[in-house]
Each structure stands twice: as structure tokens, then as C-alpha cells.
């Protein structure tokens, strides 16, 4: 099969999920009205929490740095709005933990962002590009949340940049709309990232259920040899890093290896767009496109440009959800397979928030994690696991606390895709059991590697 004259690349194992993308994929990106209060967590990335750089009482403006930490594994945090800092205190975040946050009473009249610069990125030196990326505080916008600066600040050049436009989780269409509406920014971001990492080739991998985005980008690239759109089979989890590398380049990263070891860096398309805006317009990472959707309950599902720090309750009210009648519903931040159900509607959108989904009781299936249902050894989970693991068996080791055996059977390689829980006829919370065991299993694997190195 071909699309836009290009062969569609396939994924080995995985699952064809019902997509639900038709709820929002034709809806143009709309700006969401501002909340009265913004809550901006000082930890929105992998790494250390930033320190506040503004005191309570300070008047701030959009794009102004409000948090920073002089450590490599951190990212600066910026205000998304104009207003007055009313508190700096722990607030609940999507992780389920409280994080020190800057609370701002929003001045809606002054909250428009005016780009302080507009410049051509092409004559800029690589160090200047890197500094602009670091300053902007961008993180993996597909949900990974690794500081972009760390990903692109390499000792050795990497020949291939893979931009991930697979967007393989159901409901989410924010990447599709960005590829359609911000195509020039995406291509500009790809050019900047290629220069920074020393890549000579960029592939933009897009699942074929986004044929409009494939056509638009292929048309805009007009046969360019250095940046190429690659159509991908629609199958979950095509967007998992190792899967997309294999699909677009044919390379298979060895287990436990970093993608750079097979000459690739993978970034989400939203990260490339954010990179372009930070370098060209001096716009820090303080707003993003979020898909707000769900079957039945959301009256105006769509893709909204949302300021970081906006409470999800404010967003749901704007899209016509009766937030007083959500008993039995689940509100999920992220996609339905890898996202997290939320305990409070006060939780704010952060840099990595791809979606806010309201799932009615008919779509909520509970799996008892305290007393997991037994594994009936049907083998369905192993049949679909994209990493070729045996999730059922691993879940038994995890439940028993037998972490060394789970390490022997490579639990640390789990992609956390959720397919094993999804397909399990016993309704066993397989993924949750594996996630709980994973940190200890990873520690064991790391220790084994250290000992093996010491033995030479």
C-alpha cells in the first residue's frame, strides 16, 4: 500500500484499537479563554524541581522565567500569563503528587504574548540554537517530558532525526492538527534540530489515519531529500520510540540501548514546533495544544491552545462538561492507554499534557489492583505485546515480589503501553503490576550491568 506516493511501513506486534479520532480531528485549534488563577508547577519534566525565581507579590508577564535550577537535569519554567504571584506552595499535579508551584492571579487584559524577537535561524551558530532551546524550557511534548536541551546536547553527531507524528493513542488529535496548521513551523523546527544534533536526514513518521497531514507535509516538502514524510500503519503502539525507529529506518535498537546508539534521535512533532518558536520568536514553552474529548460527555470536543497552569476543571467547563455530574466518570490526562486518571479537577495542564479525556461509566472498566484477578494463562497478552515479552508470566513474578526472575525475563524492557491489561480476558491489572515492579527490576538490571563491567 502507498500513500502520497510512499510505501506504508508496518508494525510487527501491537493492537488495532478503536480510534475515536473522528470526534476532534476536523476541529481547528482554538484558543481557550484564560482561567482566573494559574498554577504552574516547578517540576514538569524528568529531573529536578526548579527553584522559584520570583517572590510572592511579583507582577509577571507571559514568557517570563519564574523558576530555574542550575543543574543539568532540569528545565526552566516560565509564566504563561500576566498577573500577580499570590503563593508559592505545593499543589497537586497529574502525577498524583504535590509539587511546589507558582500560583498566579491572572490579569486577563495583559496576558497576550508579544514575541520579543523575530529572526532567521539559518545563520545562527549551533551554540546559539542550543542556548535558545535551553532557555525556552521545552520538554518532550508527546508526553515524555525529557528536557529537549538534554536530548539535543550530544557529544557526537547523530545522523538521523525521527520526528514522531504517529499519535497512535485513541482520541488524541492534537499532533494531527498541529501538523496541518503549523506545517511550516514543524519543518523549521526539524531544520533547527537537525543542525543541532548534526543529522543529515529527518524522517517524519505519521500513521495513515492522518492522511491529510501526510499530504500537507509531503506537499510542503515538495520532494526535499533531507526531510521526508514516512506513512506508517495505524497500529498501537507505533509511536513507541523503538517501534517508530524500526518502521522508518529499519534499524532495531538492541535491548537496553539508547536510540542514539543506532544513530537516531526521536522527538515528538510538537517538540519541533516548540523549538522553532523558541529560536525564531523567543517564545518559551508556556502553552500547548491539548485534545479535549470523550464519548458523549464533552459537548464541544476539540483541540485547544491552553496555557500551562490552567486547571482542568476550567477547561472542562469551557467545553460544556457539567463538572458537578461526573460521578462514575474517569477524567484522564494524556491518552486512554498511557494517561493517568485524575483525583481532582484542580490539577493544572503542564508542558507534556497531550489530552484531557472524560470517560463515561460505559467506557470505564475497573481492574482490582489490590486483589488482582488470576492469570488464566490464555497467552493473549504475549500474542500482542509489542516488545515480545510474556506479560502474564511477568505479572506473576511481580505479584510475588520475585524481582530477580522478573529481571531475567526482561520486565525492565516493558514499554508501558497498556495492551496486556487491555486484552486480558481475566481483567487482570497486568500493566499496573509490571509498573509497580519496574523501578526495583531496573535497579537489579543496573546493578548486574555494573558488576559485569567490573568483572571486565
Enumerate binding residues for ligand SF4 (CB under 6 A): 375-381, 385-387, 389, 391-392, 395, 414-420, 423-424, 426, 428, 430-431, 434
Choose between 344 and 426: whose C-beta lies nearer to ligand SF4: 426
CA–CA distance, 204 with 219 (Å, rounded to integer): 13
Half-sphere exposure (Cβ direction) of 99: Cα atoms closer than 13 Å? 25
Minimum CB distance to ligand SF4, residue 434 (Å):
6
Q: Count the alpha carbons within 13 Å of 298 in the hemisphere toward its beta carbon.
A: 25
The least CB distance from residue 367 to ligand SF4, in Å, is 10
Specify whether the CB–CB gap between 189 and 275 falls below 8 A.
Answer: yes
Is the CB of 185 or the CB of 399 nearer to ligand SF4? 399
- For the chain, the straight-line distance linking the first and the last C-alpha, in angstroms and rounded, comes to 49
> C-beta of 391: minimal distance to ligand SF4 in Å?
4
Sign of the torsion formed by the C-alpha atoms of 232, 236, 241 and 247: negative
- Alpha carbon 449 to its chain's center: 29
Nearer to ligand SF4 among residue 347 and residue 441 (C-beta): 441
Which residue number places its CB atom closest to ligand SF4? 392
Q: Are 29 and 45 in contact (CB under 8 A)?
A: no
Write down the least CB distance from residue 394 to ligand SF4, Å.
6
Whole-angstrom Cα distance, residue 325 to residue 436?
32
CB of 107 to ligand SF4, least distance (A): 44
CB of 211 or CB of 376, closer to ligand SF4: 376
Concatenated DSSP letters for 332-380? EES-TTT-EE-S-TTPBP-TT--EEEEE-GGG-----SSSPPPP----H
Neighbours of 373 (CB within 10 A): 14
Which residues does residue 203 pair with via DSSP β-bridges, in sequence order? 162, 228
> Can the peptide bond before residue 237 be classed as cis, meaning omega within 30 degrees of 0?
yes
**Is 327 or 370 the residue whose CB approaches ligand SF4 more closely?**
370
Query: What is residue 254's three-state secondary structure?
Result: coil
Strand, coil or helix: 193: helix
The least distance separating ligand SF4 from the CB of residue 445, rounded to whole angstroms, comes to 15
State the cell numbers at 264.
Answer: 537516531
d(CA 63, CA 71) in angstroms, rounded, equals: 21
Smallest separation (angstroms) from ligand SF4 to the CB of 425: 6
Nearer Cβ to ligand SF4, position 106 or 381? Answer: 381
* Among 350, 337, 316, residue whose Cα is nearest residue 168: 337
Shortest CA distance to 183 belongs to which of 224, 208, 213?
213
Of the pair 14, 231, the CB lying nearest ligand SF4 is at 14
Contact 161, 267 (CB under 8 A): yes
Beta carbon of residue 124, minimum distance to ligand SF4 (angstroms, whole number): 40
Give the C-alpha separation, 13 to 188, whole Å. 33
Question: 33 vs 401, which CB is nearer to ligand SF4?
Answer: 401
Tell the smallest beta-carbon distance from residue 209 to ligand SF4 (Å): 21
Minimum Å distance from CB 229 to ligand SF4? 27
The whole-angstrom separation of Cα 417 and Cα 300 is 28
Amino acid at each position: 500500500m502507498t500513500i502520497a506516493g510512499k510505501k506504508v511501513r508496518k508494525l510487527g506486534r501491537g493492537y488495532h484499537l478503536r480510534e475515536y479520532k473522528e470526534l476532534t480531528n476536523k476541529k481547528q485549534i482554538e484558543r481557550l479563554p484564560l482561567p482566573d488563577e494559574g498554577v504552574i508547577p516547578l517540576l514538569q519534566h524528568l529531573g529536578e524541581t526548579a527553584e522559584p525565581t520570583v517572590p510572592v507579590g511579583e507582577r509577571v508577564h507571559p514568557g517570563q522565567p519564574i523558576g530555574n535550577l542550575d543543574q543539568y537535569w532540569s528545565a526552566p519554567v516560565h509564566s504563561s500569563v500576566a498577573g500577580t504571584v499570590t503563593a508559592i506552595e505545593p499543589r497537586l499535579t497529574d502525577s498524583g503528587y504535590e509539587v511546589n508551584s507558582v500560583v498566579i492571579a491572572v490579569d486577563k487584559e495583559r496576558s497576550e504574548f508579544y514575541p520579543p524577537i523575530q529572526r532567521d535561524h539559518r545563520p545562527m551558530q549551533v551554540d546559539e540554537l542550543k542556548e535558545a532551546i535551553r532557555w525556552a524550557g521545552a520538554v518532550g511534548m508527546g508526553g515524555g517530558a525529557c528536557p529537549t536541551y538534554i536530548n539535543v546536547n550530544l557529544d557526537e553527531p547523530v545522523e538521523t532525526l525521527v520526528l514522531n507524528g504517529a499519535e497512535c493513542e485513541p482520541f488524541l488529535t492534537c499532533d494531527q492538527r498541529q501538523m496541518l496548521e503549523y506545517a511550516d513551523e514543524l519543518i523549521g523546527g526539524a531544520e533547527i534540530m537537525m543542525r543541532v544534533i548534526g543529522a543529515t536526514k529527518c524522517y517524519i513518521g505519521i500513521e495513515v489515519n492522518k492522511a491529510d497531514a501526510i499530504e500537507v507535509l509531503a506537499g510542503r516538502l515538495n520532494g526535499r531529500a533531507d526531510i521526508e514524510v514516512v506513512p506508517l500503519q495505524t497500529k498501537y503502539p507505533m509511536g513507541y520510540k523503538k517501534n517508530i525507529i524500526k518502521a522508518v529506518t529499519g534499524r532495531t535498537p538492541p535491548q537496553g540501548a539508547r536510540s542514539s546508539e543506532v544513530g537516531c534521535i526521536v522527538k515528538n512533532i510538537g517538540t519541533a514546533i516548540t523549538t522553532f518558536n523558541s529560536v525564531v520568536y523567543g517564545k518559551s514553552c508556556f502553552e500547548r495544544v491539548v485534545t479535549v474529548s470523550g464519548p458523549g460527555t464533552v459537548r464541544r470536543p476539540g483541540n485547544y491552545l491552553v496555557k500551562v497552569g490552567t486547571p482542568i476543571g476550567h477547561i472542562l467547563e469551557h467545553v460544556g462538561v457539567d463538572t458537578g455530574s461526573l460521578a462514575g466518570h474517569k477524567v484522564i490526562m494524556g491518552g486512554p492507554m498511557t494517561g493517568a486518571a485524575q483525583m481532582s479537577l484542580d490539577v493544572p495542564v503542564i508542558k507534556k499534557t497531550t489530552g484531557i479525556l472524560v470517560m463515561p461509566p460505559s467506557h470505564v472498566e475497573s481492574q482490582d489492583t489490590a486483589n488482582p484477578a488470576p492469570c488464566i494463562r490464555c497467552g493473549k497478552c504475549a500474542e500482542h505485546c509489542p516488545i515480545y515479552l510474556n506479560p502474564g508470566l511477568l505479572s506473576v513474578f511481580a505479584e510475588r515480589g520475585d524481582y530477580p526472575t522478573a529481571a531475567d525475563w526482561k520486565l525492565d524492557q516493558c514499554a508501558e503501553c497498556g495492551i496486556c491489561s487491555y486484552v486480558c480476558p481475566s481483567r487482570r491489572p497486568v500493566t499496573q503490576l509490571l509498573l509497580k515492579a519496574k523501578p526495583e527490576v531496573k535497579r537489579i538490571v543496573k546493578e548486574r550491568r555494573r558488576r559485569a563491567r567490573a568483572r571486565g
